A = this chain, B = another copy of it.
Amino acid sequence: MKAVVVNCTLKASPEPSNTEQLARVVTSALEERGVTVTWFRLADLAIDHGVETSLSDQDQWPTVHDAIVAADILVIATPTWVGRPASYAQQALERLDAMISETRDDGQPLALGKVAGVVVTGNEDGAHHVISEISGGLVDIGFTIPGQAWTYWNRGPGPGPQYRETEEGHDWSRETGRTMADRLVEVSRALATAGV
């Protein structure tokens, strides 16, 4: 079983990513369950704006696209900015939009049979909305969202520390992250067995 993580932090490497750190809880749990994980950090890549799979010679989205097509599980990991998904997350949805009209050999959309989940960090409130926005977009495109296939972390009210700056609340986010990995694996396996 293969998973792809798309990290939508606004910060390029080598700056540390809070979002990556929480997503690693999920990917460690996935790896313990035998899943191979491939990471993409959009801020490190040249990603064109648009709604097609390939847009220019420099555009590196096709590599991300092909990895998602080859995978069973997609994890979108994003920070929260102004209470909403990071701009890279919306850019990923826009590029994934092209998959609605890409079909498998059986004529079904490419995303059918794939499952997806969401990881959210923030230094302020917004995670439930971010999860709904991204899950709603992915369902539109054809991904299946298993129940409880999300985890999040923030502190409130008002601006506060970042994930890496405190240990508060990490236990809850980690436990929820491990549950997320369970749900992704069990629903992915069920769909594969049933030939969905």
Contacts and interface: CB of A to CB of B under 8 A. Distances in A.
B193 A187 contact: no
A39 interface: no
A50 B10 contact: yes
Interface string A143-182: 1111111101111111000000000010011001000000
A46 interface: no
A83 B120 CA distance: 14
Most chain B CB inside 10 Å of its own CB: which residue of A97, A109, A150, A158: A158
A68 interface: no
Most chain B CB inside 10 Å of its own CB: which residue of A10, A84, A156, A194: A156
Contact of A90 (B87, B111, B139): B87
A145 to B, nearest CB: 5
What size tier do the contact residues of chain A reach?
A: 35 or more
Contacts of A49: 10, 43, 87-88
Nearest to A153: B157
Interface of A: 10-11, 43, 49-51, 81-88, 90-91, 93-94, 96-97, 109, 111-112, 114, 124-129, 131-133, 135-150, 152-158, 169, 172-173, 176, 183, 186-187, 189-191, 193-194, 196
Given A144-B144, A157-B169, 13 more contacts: A11-B50, A82-B137, A82-B140, A83-B140, A125-B154, A127-B156, A128-B129, A135-B136, A139-B145, A141-B147, A155-B157, A157-B176, A189-B194
